Amino acid sequence: MAGDQHPDKPISLAEALAAIAQAFQPATAAETVPLGDAHGRILAADIAASIAVPAADNSAVDGYAFRHADIAGPLKVVGTAAAGHPYAQSVGKGEAVRIFTGAVMPKGADTVVPQEIVTMSGGSVVVPDLKLGANCRLAGEDIAAGSRIRAAGERLDAPKIGVIASVGIAAVSVRMPLRLAVFSTGDELIEGDTPLGPGQIYDSNRPVLLAMLKRLGIAATDLGILPDKQETIAARLAEAAATHHAVVCSAGMSVGDEDHVKAAVRSLGALDFWSVAIKPGRPIAIGRIADTPFFGLPGNPVAMIVTFQTIVRPALLRLAGAIPVEPRRFPVTADFRLARRAGKREFLRCSLHPGDGHILFARRFERGGSGVLSSVADSEGLLEVAEDIAEITPGMTVPFIPFSSLGL
């Protein structure tokens, strides 16, 4: 990153994300853990299947396995095949084998008839018309031998762990958790268990940041509130950077005389300011304390949340070795009118309500200031307004990002 950006020339969100993709690489080492302990961890290497799943053709139902060419006549039942206990002989002309779900298809058989639709006649079964291959699971139809079943950078959940287990893997290589130091800054901030003094406010940014980081699987250390003293800030930042993979601060990044974080970071390393064309949001600081990445977020809580989710979150995921996943978006219909100045990507806090014909309407939160944290707590997500839109009108289709896809 090349020095402070000119404040009158903001970059687009797409440009910011492209720069982040180039600037940040995994910062954590890999370790091998038992598969049962891998939930929520990030894969450090691709995983390939050494076997096919299923390993052999097998039955999808309880029934009778037979040769489709013999479907016209009664079939003599000559044996049984159960899961884990294959029928050892071949199925000959006019023969059928009693088979149970998951059992390997006997040699010669190519079709299975469910037990509920056969007619029994002594030791034989009469089969109705079926397609060739009915009720058979083919070898490798789930996973082909040699195929890549999971990619480095994926976060493991229960179904992915199941896929890995199905090919006989008991331990996986995963990234060690990213260690992140979290500060708030400002003499006006106090902790929630202290009575407010004149001009003081309770710190809400740090608890929000810690909650968002927890959902990302990041090992965040709460290092409290930094006072408005450059020497103290520099000492605390240097100490945190030496023991963490990255440092995040909120507030203290504006141009005021009492915002000492910028000078402290520059005294320890380097600092760039990114003016990104998003709203709510302000120039976001991205730099390094020695070799440790530093991120400075706005002090206004809604601006902090939006800039974290849109810019810092993708950077931290890359540092953690994860593949940044775009938050889920789906189209909704605006039920309000809003004139705006084009040129910025705006994120409006909204809730949804149903309309006729299964249409979802977005209702804008009535108080939209970047300091109104209740506008996030009492909304369901963000309406994403593109840079070139100067007015939202009732009935317009706009993409909506639910807070659930952002970990909020």
pLDDT tens digits, residue range 308-352? 999 999 999 999 999 888 899 999 999 999 999 999 999 999 999
Per-residue pLDDT, averaged over 373-391, amounts to: 92
Structure tokens at 369: 């200031």
CATH number of 330-403: 2.40.340.10
pTM for this model (two decimals): 0.86
CATH number of 33-52+151-175: 3.90.105.10
CA distances from residue 105 to 51, 84, 85, 92, 372 in whole angstroms, order as listed: 18, 11, 11, 13, 64
Residue 55 above 70 pLDDT?
A: yes
In this prediction, what percent of the chain has a pLDDT beyond 70?
96
**Tell me, which fold does domain 13-28+177-319 have in CATH?**
Molybdenum Cofactor Biosythetic Enzyme; Chain A (3.40.980)
pLDDT band at 262, cuts 50/70/90? confident
Find, among 345, 188, 349, 342, the residue nearest to 256 by Cα: 188
Q: Contact 328/405 with Cβ under 8 angstroms?
A: yes
The per-residue pLDDT for range 232-253, each reduced to its tens digit, is 999 999 999 999 999 999 876 6
The CA distance from 137 to 306, in Å, is 48
The per-residue pLDDT for range 143-167, each reduced to its tens digit, is 999 999 999 999 999 999 999 999 9
The CA distance from 169 to 172, in Å, is 8
C-beta pairs of 257-264 under 8 Å, 24+ apart in sequence: 258/187, 258/228, 259/228, 260/185, 260/228, 260/229, 260/230, 260/233, 261/185, 261/226, 261/233, 261/285, 261/296, 262/296, 263/230, 264/230, 264/233, 264/234, 264/237
CATH number of 58-137: 2.170.190.11
pLDDT band at 6, cuts 50/70/90? very low
pLDDT of residue 367: 76
Sign of CA dihedral 33, 37, 39, 41: negative
Domain ranges of the chain: 13-28+177-319, 33-52+151-175, 58-137, 330-403
